[in-house]
Amino acid sequence: MLEKFMEINGVVAAGEFSKEDGKLVKSYGEIESDLASLMAALCGKANSVLSESIAEYNKHSKRNWDGFKGWALSSGDFSLCVMDNFGVIAETAKADFNQIFFQLRMAASYKFEYNNM
């Protein structure tokens, strides 16, 4: 499944991490295993903090922010896009973010449906 992300413009690596502890499940592309593990830990921590933060924000907002799904971070020449427990690293200038998030949503949906069969 991770290989599919590599077909998207600008994508250099993709990974899956465990929601429980942010440990790397698997990675694919141009990323060393130690860096993939660090990125997985970052994704796990960020998911936890952002999920809690948006839940609190939702209590006070007139708009519906319930159901945290994902996020993106851009720094230097690269961007990190995350949905559920999948992450993609892409060159910001070359990335097709619509396609990245579409594919992330498909991966997260597939995992959900597969695990609930």
> Domains (ranges, CATH) in the chain?
8-115 (3.30.450.30)
Using the Cα atoms of residue 60, residue 47, residue 88 and residue 99 in order, give the sign of their dihedral: negative
Q: Which pTM does this prediction carry?
A: 0.89
Give the chain's length: 117
Q: Would you call 95 helix, strand, or coil by DSSP?
A: coil
| Residue 104 confidence (pLDDT) above 60 | yes
Mean pLDDT of 93-115: 84
Cα(89)–Cα(6) distance, integer angstroms: 10
pLDDT in tens, 19-64: 889 999 999 999 999 999 999 999 999 999 999 999 999 999 999 9
